[in-house]
């Protein structure tokens, strides 16, 4: 009986820990959309959302309620089961990635030694969910958008793998917590500045952000793989996409900017400020740059980032072998 109680308490504590992580993530994702809309409005010299709540602060809540209360329309001729499951699968993949992140000196749900490998594996699985979403929609626009998205993710994941190998070479670890602790005296963005720039740009491509938002180009594909989804299903795709943007901002802060360390000081506020700076940079890119053509996008991945990342990896390997 005592064993059963201990197991029950363990599972309750585990669920509470997960909720304590996922609920703030969802709130952050909601208000990231508000930050983006406010920032873009300022760049374009217009007001932006300012009616719902003080300064428009309740606009994300109003948008969420609107999507939840709308009718969920199912497509005719598509696979209804897969159509229903794929938004949930996409959202779950986005959320599970957060479980291994090192968010502070005393806050880790999983102290996972293969954290980088885990992140790389799960980000690859996301392509399958998008292909299924396009296929189940029974729409040529949706299917073409899902194929674009999968090809884009696969193309840039090759380069991002080489960038992550540079970090593993220097730190000698796949554990995100140990990588942060390695940067107490020097951020990896300084010795690995080319890798830092590559990783930032590749994250934009991986998450389908401007100027790499080709999978949902409105002028060509009418919103791509999400064109047939509505109401709560569409909301799950939006949440997953923005959660991945936030996740990549956290990873950039952890892998290259020292995580929660800055000039001898440590704390979660330092990590949060770094994440906000990265997010503002991502929004700024959207405000300033036009969209690539799809052939340019693929050429950039295979003919520019892959060779440069490979050369950077070989150079760093030779340098480390020479020194040590």
pLDDT value, residue 155: 82
pLDDT value, residue 105: 64
- As a whole number of angstroms, the distance between CA 242 and CA 237 comes to 9
pLDDT value, residue 70: 82
Instruction: Give the 3-state secondary structure of residue 264.
Output: coil
pLDDT value, residue 17: 73
Task: Supply the pTM of this predicted model.
Answer: 0.86
pLDDT value, residue 227: 77
C-alpha closest to that of 59 among 29, 24, 34:
34
Place of tokens 């064993």: 3
Alpha helices in 53-139 (DSSP H): 59-69, 80-96, 115-136
Backbone φ and ψ of 291, nearest 5°: -75, 140
pLDDT value, residue 24: 82
pLDDT value, residue 110: 62
- As a whole number of angstroms, the distance between CA 13 and CA 9 comes to 6
Instruction: Give the 3-state secondary structure of residue 261.
Output: strand
For the chain, the structural domain boundaries read 1-69, 76-323
Q: For the chain (length 324 residues), average pLDDT per consecutive 10?
A: 66 73 82 86 83 81 83 75 84 82 65 75 78 81 80 83 87 84 85 88 83 70 73 84 88 87 80 89 86 83 87 86 71
Structure tokens, 216: 């949902």
First to last CA, the chain: 56
pLDDT value, residue 233: 83
Return the H-helix or E-strand segment holding 265. strand 265-266
Instruction: Give the 3-state secondary structure of residue 219.
Output: helix
Contact 25, 250 (CB under 8 A): no
């Amino acid at each position: 009986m005592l064993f059963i109680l201990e197991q029950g308490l363990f599972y309750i504590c585990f669920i509470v820990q997960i909720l304590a992580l996922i609920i703030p993530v969802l709130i952050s994702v909601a208000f990231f959309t508000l930050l983006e809309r406010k920032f873009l409005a300022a760049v374009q010299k217009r007001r932006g959302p300012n009616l719902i709540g003080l300064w428009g602060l309740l606009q994300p809540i109003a948008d969420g309620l609107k999507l939840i209360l709308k009718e969920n329309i199912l497509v005719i001729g598509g696979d209804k089961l897969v159509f229903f499951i794929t938004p949930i699968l996409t959202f779950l993949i986005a959320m599970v990635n957060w479980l291994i992140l090192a968010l502070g000196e005393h806050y880790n749900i999983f102290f996972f030694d293969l954290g980088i490998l885990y992140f790389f594996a799960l980000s690859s699985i996301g392509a399958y969910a998008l292909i299924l979403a396009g296929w189940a929609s029974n729409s040529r626009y949706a299917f073409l958008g899902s194929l674009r998205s999968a090809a884009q993710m696969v193309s840039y994941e090759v380069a991002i793998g080489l960038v992550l190998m540079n970090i593993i070479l220097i730190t000698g670890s796949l554990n995100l917590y140990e990588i942060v602790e390695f940067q107490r005296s020097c951020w990896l963005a300084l010795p690995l500045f080319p890798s830092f720039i590559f990783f930032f740009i590749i994250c934009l491509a991986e998450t389908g952000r401007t100027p790499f938002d080709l999978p949902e180009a409105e002028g060509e594909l009418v919103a791509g793989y999400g064109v047939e989804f509505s109401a709560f299903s569409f909301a799950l795709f939006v949440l997953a996409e923005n959660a991945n943007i936030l996740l990549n901002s956290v990873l950039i802060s952890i892998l290259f900017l020292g995580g929660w360390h800055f000039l001898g000081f440590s704390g979660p506020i330092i990590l949060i400020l770094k994440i906000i700076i990265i997010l503002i940079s991502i929004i700024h890119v959207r405000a300033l740059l036009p969209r690539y053509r799809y052939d340019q996008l693929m050429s950039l991945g295979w003919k520019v980032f892959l060779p440069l990342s490979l050369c950077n990896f070989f150079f760093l390997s030779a340098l480390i072998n020479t020194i040590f």
